[in-house]
Amino acid sequence: MVECLRCYRMTEQPVPSSHALERPHPSVSDPHESGRRFGIRDGMFQAVAQGGGEHYLSAFAILLSATPFQLSILSAIPQLLGTWAQLISVKVSHWFPSQSSQVYWGIIGQSVSWIPILALPLLWPEHGPWLLIAGVAVYFTCTHFTSPAWNSLITELLDPNERGAYFAKRSRVVAITSLLVLCLAGALLSLFEKLNQLWIGFTIIFLTAGLCRSASALLLHTVTGFPQHDLSQAPTGFLHFLRTGVSHNFRHFLLFSGLMHAAVLIAGPFFVLYIIQNLHLAHWQYGTWLAAGILGQFLTLPGWGQFGDRFGNKALLTFTGLLVAFLPMLYLFSSAWLFLVSINFFGGVVWAGLGLGLNNYVYDAVQPADRAKAVAVSSIVNAIGWAMGTVAGSLLINTIPNRLYLGTFLLEPVSNIPFIFFLSGLLRLIVSATLLRTFHEPRQVEQRAHSRLLWELPLLKPLRQFSRRPTGLNQ
């Protein structure tokens, strides 16, 4: 995935309703505890599928000789088709006896999808990239079909005041698991690359991803206490929700989120192309670059979760929305591998906060009964932006020159892709500067000036506390 946008998908999880406010007596076992534990363990298995599978889909496409246009399609079409599956998921949710059964069949679909993703391109390599795109489209359709039910399921198990902390904890587990799997998968691919048997490495990591999703399905069967569907009430439609359940704040938030996705995905599909083909770095170096972003998430997710719970997700979006604009611009200044790894580390830091903010703002901005619909609508808007960005990027890569004259100064990177990265950052900056001011925080949160909030950010807050420590000891 691009920068740490896959990290954003890792945080696409739910929120709580008023049922979670009824805490059990300490002497009585909490009936929701097993469900909350499942959410964490499912995250571990999901992280293996992401770190060892999803993160290397683009690299597999390059092995199949995919063109830049096919890489763009690989990034855009599966997400767009998968997001529409969320609308269908909400519509047919009452067909299932419970939300857990709907989640179960969605996870089974994800597990089985890894077989055609791997087998079809290898059986018919002349059509490999397109067959890979078709298999990935099925995979993400199943993934998104599961998402609204998963969100509603966990919603019933959490208190509103623990939302940010729980999702930060889950995302941190996902991050560290993905980090380890990324490193192992990268080392495995590098080993088989030296043996000129790279397809064997992809076979191992893709089959492992499928087996881990099957393990999640088996684990779900051991969980008790999940609520059943109330079939006595017919679900309201999306048109009714869009007419009555969407506030001014939420509409402007959707516009910001969709356009931000478009700006990001202009550059998104081409990071793997730039690192592997243009710079000729090894797969273990590409894996290390990916792992640096996940390490950045792991170190800062708890801090971002606490920041969002305390000061609001709008403040979280304000800081991260502006910071994320400058990340791709830095690729224009150097192609040194350690420099690129450092950029992606800070990319992981910023995307960890941006992902939490984008997801949790959706839950805050609508009524509890509309959250599943809001998640689906938000995903549709994001997928449209995703598709627009990737199509625009595929057009730009064939039109932007490889060199740029600034007076007498010549700027000539190894390809025109760093210019696309810079343009993506510029568009992100425009989206953040113009749209962040159009919506507001829907919750009652602690208010502070932005200059003071700056020192509450992850990485900066520990530095401030460390600098004050000697003063505190003298008091």
Please check whether residue 10 lies inside any domain of the structure: no
Please check whether residue 29 lies inside any domain of the structure: no
pLDDT on residue 469:
52
Residue 97: is it exposed, middle or buried by C-beta count within 10 angstroms (0-12/13-18/19+)? Answer: exposed
Q: Which amino acid is present at 49?
A: A
pLDDT on residue 394:
85
pLDDT digits (tens, 9 = 90+) for 118-133: 889 888 988 889 999 9
pLDDT on residue 419:
93
Could you tell me if residue 406 is left (phi over 0), alpha (psi between -120 and 50 degrees) or otherwise beta? beta
Residues in the chain: 475
pLDDT on residue 40:
83
pLDDT on residue 12:
43
Please check whether residue 330 lies inside any domain of the structure: yes
pLDDT on residue 460:
73
CATH label of the domain that carries residue 84: 1.20.1250.20
Closest CA to 38 of 148, 145, 166, 142: 166
pLDDT on residue 266:
93
Tokens of 147: 């998402």
pLDDT on residue 69:
84
Please check whether residue 51 lies inside any domain of the structure: yes
Distances (CA, A) of 216 to 101, 191, 246, 405: 13, 29, 34, 54
**Boundaries of domain holding 58:** 34-228+237-460
Please check whether residue 434 lies inside any domain of the structure: yes
Please check whether residue 280 lies inside any domain of the structure: yes
pTM score: 0.70
CB 1 within 8 A of CB 268: yes
Q: Estimate to the nearest angstrom the gap between the alpha carbon of 157 and the chain centroid.
A: 22
Tokens of 4: 């740490």
Please check whether residue 260 lies inside any domain of the structure: yes
DSSP 298-346: HHHHHHHHHHHHHH-HHHHHHHHHHHTTTTGGGGGT---HHHHHHHHHH
Helix (H) or strand (E) holding 405: strand 404-406
Regions of the chain where pLDDT drops below 50: 1-2, 6-28, 231-234, 466, 470-475
Tell me how many domains the chain contains. 1
Please check whether residue 6 lies inside any domain of the structure: no
